[in-house]
């Protein structure tokens, strides 16, 4: 019984680590998408002002 329980613990541990890494990867991906969205929003807000200043 003790041998089986120890084997189960060993098989469970590797499954926990990838879950954590996947969560961190998702968090990093979300952060990257947010940063790119902010950069695009800034570029969009800058472009109209440049177009307006060029007209007159």
pLDDT digits (tens, 9 = 90+) for 3-32: 555 555 555 555 555 666 777 888 888 888
Q: What is the domain extent for residue 31?
A: 20-56
User: pTM score, two decimals?
Assistant: 0.37
**What's the confidence (pLDDT) of residue 20?**
64
Does residue 41 form part of some domain?
A: yes
**What's the confidence (pLDDT) of residue 24?**
81
**What's the confidence (pLDDT) of residue 9?**
54
**What's the confidence (pLDDT) of residue 21?**
72
Does residue 13 form part of some domain?
A: no
**What's the confidence (pLDDT) of residue 32?**
86
Does residue 9 form part of some domain?
A: no
**What's the confidence (pLDDT) of residue 48?**
59
Looking at the 3D structure of the chain, how many domains does it have? 1
SS3 8: helix
CA distances in angstroms from 47 to 4, 34, 41, listed in the order given: 65, 20, 10
């Amino acid at each position: 019984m003790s041998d089986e329980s120890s084997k189960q613990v060993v098989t469970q541990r590797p499954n926990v680590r990838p879950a954590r890494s996947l969560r961190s990867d998702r968090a990093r991906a979300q952060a990257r998408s947010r940063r790119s969205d902010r950069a695009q929003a800034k570029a969009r807000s800058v472009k109209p002002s440049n177009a307006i200043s060029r007209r007159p």
